């Protein structure tokens, strides 16, 4: 009878642990505990993990490109200018003009200043030591448009094409030059070009100053003459021509 009861009892299958109570410390018990974390905390943990991975990727890209990190700002300076205001072969005597013309330095506008270029200028008939023929020849050179090399280097002219120059009017000091336009009506760059070009030639005085004025209407009736010098302030800041000069 006992043998029959023993055989009738169901045998427990190997691995069947459904009827066993869970013990603290098992892997499934630990998993259940992790799942009980608040949802807000889980979101913050995922966000922090994503940010860390992003920083690591960026750091790897920077290292791969050879970029060295720095904790201080770096001043790279101003962007280099493409215009150097210098002609190829500057200083040589291969200026514009033909045989028989004299090489002279003519000041053209370039960027925010006026700079010299060499040109061969045909002076009018007459004594080259006289101011007026020299002044007229130089004015013609200033009114000419820059050639291709000058234009590529950034040079331009601001001198009006219809501007004329005359000698001293009655009552003016010797060596004075009067322009056909009032000085206040000239572009500041044009006045700086004229002053600096004349200052290097016989159009200036013995002290290399230039006496200029506007048109004369009659004896003693004209724009007041002013004496100019081609100093660093005028060359580097042509706007100063509007207030430059002293009464002559």
Total domains in the chain come to 1
Query: What is the percent of the chain with per-residue pLDDT over 70, rounded to a whole number?
Result: 58
Quick check: is 171 in a domain?
A: yes
Residue 197 is assigned to a structural domain of this protein: yes
- Asked whether 222 and 215 are in contact (CB, 8 A), the reply is yes
Backbone angles phi, psi at 38, to 5 degrees: -60, 145
Taking the model in full, what pTM does it have? 0.63
pLDDT at residue 107, rounded to an integer = 97
How many angstroms separate the Cα of 169 from the Cα of each of 28, 111, 113, 160? 113, 36, 32, 22
Residue 18 lies in a domain: no
Task: Give the range of the structural domain holding residue 223, as residue numbers without chain letter.
Answer: 102-247
The verdict on residue 217 lying in a domain is: yes
Asked whether residue 66 is assigned to any structural domain, the reply reads no
Per DSSP, helices labelled H in the chain are: 2-8, 27-34, 39-64, 131-143, 148-152, 188-199, 232-236
Asked if the structure places residue 77 within a domain, the reply is no
pLDDT at 80: 43
Residue 86 lies inside a defined structural domain of this protein: no
Task: Say if residue 72's pLDDT is above 50.
Answer: no
Give me the pLDDT at residue 235, please.
Answer: 95
Tens of pLDDT, residues 24-67: 555 555 555 555 556 666 676 676 666 555 555 445 544 544 44
**13: in domain:** no
For residue 168, pLDDT beyond 90:
yes
């Amino acid at each position: 009878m006992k043998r029959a009861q023993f055989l009738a009892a169901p045998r427990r299958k190997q691995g069947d642990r459904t009827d066993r109570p869970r013990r603290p410390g098992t892997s499934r018990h630990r998993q259940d505990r992790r799942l009980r974390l608040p949802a807000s905390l889980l979101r913050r943990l995922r966000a922090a993990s994503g940010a860390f991975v992003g920083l690591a990727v960026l750091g790897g890209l920077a290292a791969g490109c050879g970029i060295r990190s720095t904790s201080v700002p770096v001043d790279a300076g101003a962007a280099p200018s493409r215009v150097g205001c210098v002609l190829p072969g500057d200083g040589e005597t291969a200026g514009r003009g033909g045989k028989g013309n004299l090489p002279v330095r003519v000041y053209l506008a370039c960027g925010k200043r006026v700079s010299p270029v060499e040109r061969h200028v045909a002076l009018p008939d007459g004594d080259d030591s006289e101011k007026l023929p020299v002044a007229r020849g130089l004015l013609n050179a200033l009114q000419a448009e820059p050639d291709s090399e000058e234009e590529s280097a950034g040079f331009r002219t601001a001198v009006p094409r219809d501007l004329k120059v005359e000698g001293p009017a009655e009552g003016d000091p010797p060596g004075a030059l009067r322009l056909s336009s009032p000085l206040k009506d000239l572009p500041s760059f044009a006045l700086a070009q004229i002053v600096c070009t004349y200052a290097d030639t016989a159009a200036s005085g013995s002290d290399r100053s230039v006496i200029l004025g506007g048109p004369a209407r009659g004896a003693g009736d004209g724009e007041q003459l002013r004496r100019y010098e081609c100093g660093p302030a005028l060359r580097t800041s042509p706007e100063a021509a509007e207030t430059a000069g002293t009464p002559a």
